[in-house]
Each structure stands twice: as structure tokens, then as C-alpha cells.
Amino acid sequence: VWIEDNKGWQWGFAISTISIFLSIPVFLSGSATYKNKIPSGSPLTTILKVFLAALLNSCTYKNSSSAVVNMSSSPSNQHSNRMESEQETVKANTTTETPTGHLKFLNKAVTNKPRYSSLECTVEQVEDVKVVLKVLPIFACTIILNCCLAQLSTFSVEQAASMNTKLGSLKVPPSSLPVFPVVFIMILAPIYDHIIIPYTRKATKSEMGITHLQRIGFGLVLSIVAMAVAALVEMKRKKVATHSGLLDDPTKPLPITFLWIAFQYLFLGSADLFTLAGLLEYFFSEAPIRMRSLATSLSWASLAMGYYLSSVIVSIVNSVTGNGTQKPWLSGANLNHYHLHKFYWLMCVLSGLNFLHYLYWATRYKYRGTGTAN
């Protein structure tokens, strides 16, 4: 970024192109030792098959029940005949395994033999789908965190561009600020692995130290703190702009160092470390072997959805606050006229509500295999 700002964009593109060409032989040199596993089946196909089988069997069960009602002469006979039919069907179509009691609707995928052989499911497949459905609420609760992370590469960069970006004789390009969370993660990662985790293992006397869901929850708390810090820093930046008489002049840098922005990068970088690490470990340990690739990809899907949601929230905020003679909070050529601090407080409140939503699901979650609650 510094080279592009000071030497020209052509140098930046040239360096990127050369780097890509140099990476190709490095990749090819290691590809010979890589063991390719031929994929078999698709987790998405399995999920769709289980849902369709459960739905069709449910309809078949209702139709058969209606027939029994019309043919039976007494309510007692109806009940006994239905119970006997269900017991015989379950014994005939299931293996020694029996499906668990939660999400009972999916159990219907194995209670009857489907009309189409391609929809025939095993108990193992049904249980795999149940596990994936159980992790979806946890996945959904991390989207708001990634929505907060999106602010680091948008409004935070604009804030820094209006501030003093000099470090001694070096002028730091504002667009290079997203390197801050990366640096913080590189510093915090070894501390996390070699200090925090060993300490929590001793304190809790468990191999895991703190559970995966506790790590995710701690990251969500840090995102709340980060948004509050971002709001306070923005209030300070606007106060400096007012006192220095530069509120209406966005062309001149404010007499305040851009390092104030580093605080929100620090907290959001830490939040990303705890949540992303916890989320990947959680998906990898909880998802069945056949579903691991799908489950671990949810963490990156959460990141993408968070960035899209950020754009949606900004559009909604501007449409709601821009009524009549009032200007939208986040619109215009002068950042000093934005109500960015209010937007950050809004994100702080949304993050807090999201954390309460997360607690609802996390406290009720039972880890696969152990059956113990978090």
C-alpha cells in the first residue's frame, strides 16, 4: 500500500503479479507429496435426502392413519393397531441403532421404507443431519461479530484518513491500517496457545481448558467492547475537529494521531482470534466426519454474511435517519458531519443483543458424545 501511494499503482500491481508467479512453482513442488482423497457423496445431498424422506414418510403416515380411522370400529382398536404398525415398521427398517429423541421430525426418515429407493436413509445419516442443524444457531450468532469486523476496512479507514497519520518521518497510508488486527493476532496467538490455554487447563482441571463455546462467547464480548471503544474514539475525534476549527474542512488532517484507531483494531482483532479459533475447533470436533468440510466452511460463510449484513445495516440506517430535512447518519463527503459514533453505539447494542441470543443457545447445547451441557 505504501508503494502504491508513493511510487504508483503500477508498482503495486507488478509486485502482486510477480508474487503470484513465484508462488506457482512453490505450490507445484509440494503437490506431488499431497494425497488426494477422491470425494464420495455430498453432505448437502445427504441433508436434502433426509429432509425429503422425513417429509414423504410423514405424509405417508398421515394417509395411513386416515385409512385406519375409516376402517376401525372403535377408538381403542385405532390406537392399538397404530401402535403395532409403528413398532413393526421401526423394527423392520432400522438397524441396531435407534435415532435420538431430539428433532423427532427427522426420525421419520427411517421409520418407513420410502417409496423411492434413492431416499432410503440410515440412522447414522439422520443423526449427522441433526448435528449440523444443532450448530446452525451458533453459526448464526457469529455473523454480527463479522459485521463489526467489516467496519475495520470501511469507516475505520476513513477515520484514520482524517487524522494525523505520521509516525516520525513516515506517513502511514490509511488503507494499510487493516494490518493492525493481523499484527495483534500474530502477537496474541502464541500468548493464547502457550499462556492462556495452559493456565485455564490448570484452573479448570480439564484437557480443553475452556470449552469451544466459551471461547466463542468471550470473542463476542470483546466485539461489544470494541464497538463501545470505537464510539468513544469517534466522539473524541469529532471533539478535536470542533475545537481545532476543522469540522467543516475535511481536507486538512486533524491534530490527533491515528493510533487512537488502533484500540478498536486491538479489541476486534482479539475478538476475531477467540471466536474464529473457537468456531473452527467447535465445528471440527462436533461435526461428523462426513460433514466436517461443510461445517468448517460455515466459519467463512459467517464472515461473508457479516460483510453483506454490514452493507444492509448501513443502508437501513441511512434510509431511516434520512427523513425530511435531516441528513442520513452515514452519508456525505465530509466524515466530520457523519453521526458515526451513533452508528457504533448501534452496533454495540446489536452485539449485546446478539450475545444474549448466543447465551440462550450455548447454555442449552450438549456436546456430541458426552451429552454434557456447556
Domain ranges of the chain: 43-121, 130-362
pLDDT of 355 over the 90 cut: yes
Q: Which among 362, 300, 325 is positioned nearest to 135, based on CA atoms?
A: 362
Give the pLDDT score at 114.
67
Tell me how far apart the alpha carbons of residues 267 and 226 are, in angstroms, rounded to a whole number: 5
Q: Where does the pLDDT of residue 83 fall: very low under 50, low under 70, confident under 90, or very high at 90 and above?
A: very low
Give the pLDDT score at 80.
45
Q: Where does the pLDDT of residue 81 fall: very low under 50, low under 70, confident under 90, or very high at 90 and above?
A: very low
Tell me how far apart the alpha carbons of residues 112 and 5 are, in angstroms, rounded to a whole number: 67
Segment 283-307 mean pLDDT: 85
Tell me how far apart the alpha carbons of residues 290 and 300 are, in angstroms, rounded to a whole number: 19
Give the pLDDT score at 12.
80
Give the pLDDT score at 174.
82
Give the pLDDT score at 69.
34
User: What class is the 130-362 domain?
Assistant: mainly alpha
pLDDT of 335 over the 80 cut: yes
* Range in 93-97, 114-118, 122-126, 316-320 with the lowest mean pLDDT: 93-97
pTM of the model: 0.79
pLDDT of 215 over the 50 cut: yes
Give the pLDDT score at 204.
81
Give the pLDDT score at 312.
94
Segment 124-131 mean pLDDT: 85
